[in-house]
Structure 1
């Protein structure tokens, strides 16, 4: 798969009719035995998670570059999986009049987001009181923060105009259900824009573990084509998927492993429950060291999957009646 390859899912979803035997559906291929309680525990230490924030900020910047190409003026923006809230100021800057809602499954991460928002608000107001007294108590980021599950949003149907999700979807065991829920809350012509890890992520770590034991140590990240299929199945219109590879380098294996833990570690329910012994840890470090590049650095690959899609105009009414639209002739 070439880095930067862009795929319009409408192109590859059209295929000749043929009999298909017992092949797993995209949803079945994408579902993983992820322990959501462990995910929340792994993200319960915002200070540790913050060490991996540089990649989220880089990916957020690339998502905003894609967003610039799309004309949208949302009234309600949902940041699904907002974490410590680092994307909320950027969304506020981009959509100054919109209502912002940040949602995350980790109460600890939301606490960090709230503290960051309060600190930013205090700084803004201090400056305003000094130079523009009448503008004191300005709203700042002013985002509502809610603890909740992607697949069970505390939002009414057709209430959001933009759902934004940066490097969060891969932590949910059933992304197809998440897409169905996101479509439920989006208004007609509402935009979904997300990023997540793809199958090549942590490739070097998986290869190192393969020579040590057969236990799963990383998530089986979903291929972008399967995400495209799931979006279509969930009722989104002509989703567009693309991917790119980002390689982060390290001076030593311990720093690499610390960052992997900061990115969420191993939340699989099928993971080994025992502690890693000294001998196994030494073998892991040696296996990683064997992959050093000519410049002496240890590489760690991240496949970043990007997707966006719209909720289309319905073709039938709630009663199942067809909707036929006529365009007025141009004068």
Structure 2
């Protein structure tokens, strides 16, 4: 996936409609959080929308833009204005994997990650690494794709008698459990559905390719489902076309959690179950 994402750096922004919208909604949640970070990081920063928003909100904090695809970081650098460069107000760039960050323990005050963690086969090691990197009282804020993402295409597969080959994402409750297991305190999770409309299946596939995630989302097209079967699936999807186009729903999971004092423990019930807060929002 690293090579696909690297190749997509130049085309990413033109297809990143969902990421931009989810990032905007994540930023609105910061309106209700009182923090004054000293050092903040956008993990899986892509072309840098997230770190630029964090800089706008917290101009005194040291900004880090972190991505495992070096061409994405080059795009972040290219978007720095001359005034930013003259003032030294540009993000520090770090080419690194979220599962092995070259950062000191407790060196970050705020971690932001928009629609990245779900591409990991197991997010748990990354969550532990983020917890290690956060200072006590530091905040993790993230978004991920959830189980019902592209439910229309999954349903079309089943209607054609085909086991859906699309990537399976984690349930919101599983992510909450992972946060607690990684050492975060009182995680708060909520979700919503965002439905985009596409003119044709080709446009959806093109956008995912421009984002660098087509194969990660659909599998290598043609395997294990052949092109003939894929054509049947996409034809079945087109039967559900609405006035604005072909509906493609994305389940968006939002989460935030704090790093507690080392002696603190998550709240538990008498039977040992961990207390996690969940909120379900209406579809967008």
Q: 1:210 to 1:46 in 2, by over 3 A?
A: farther
Shift of 1:250: 1.7
What are the within-5 Å matches in structure 2 for residues 103-118 of structure 1? 103-117=66-80
1:42 aligns with 2:4: yes
- In the alignment, structure 2 segments of 5+ residues that lack a partner are 265-284
Equivalent in the alignment of 1:70: 33
* SS state at 2:215 partner: coil
Give the whole-Å Cα distance in 1 for the aligned partners of 2:210 and 2:133: 31
Equivalent in the alignment of 1:219: 167
Give the whole-Å Cα distance in 1 for the aligned partners of 2:162 and 2:221: 10
Aligned pairs, number? 262
Equivalent in the alignment of 1:191: 139
Q: 1:152 to 1:273 in 2, by over 3 A?
A: farther
Give the whole-Å Cα distance in 2 for the aligned partners of 1:77 and 1:208: 42
Shift of 1:218: 2.0
Q: 1:268 to 1:200 in 2, by over 3 A?
A: closer
Equivalent in the alignment of 1:151: 99
- In the alignment, structure 1 segments of 5+ residues that lack a partner are 1-38, 126-135, 317-331
Equivalent in the alignment of 1:35: none
- Structure with max Cα Rg: 1
What are the within-5 Å matches in structure 2 for residues 49-64 of structure 1? 49-64=12-27
* SS state at 2:35 partner: coil
Shift of 1:260: 3.2
Equivalent in the alignment of 1:290: 239
Shift of 1:253: 2.0
What are the within-5 Å matches in structure 2 for residues 115-130 of structure 1? 115-117=78-80, 120=81, 122=82, 124=83
Equivalent in the alignment of 1:205: 153
Q: 1:273 to 1:149 in 2, by over 3 A?
A: farther
TM-score (norm. length: structure 1):
0.73
Q: 1:219 to 1:276 in 2, by over 3 A?
A: closer
Q: Which portions of structure 1, spanning 4 or more consecutive aligned residues, are displaced by more than 4 angstroms?
A: 211-216, 268-278
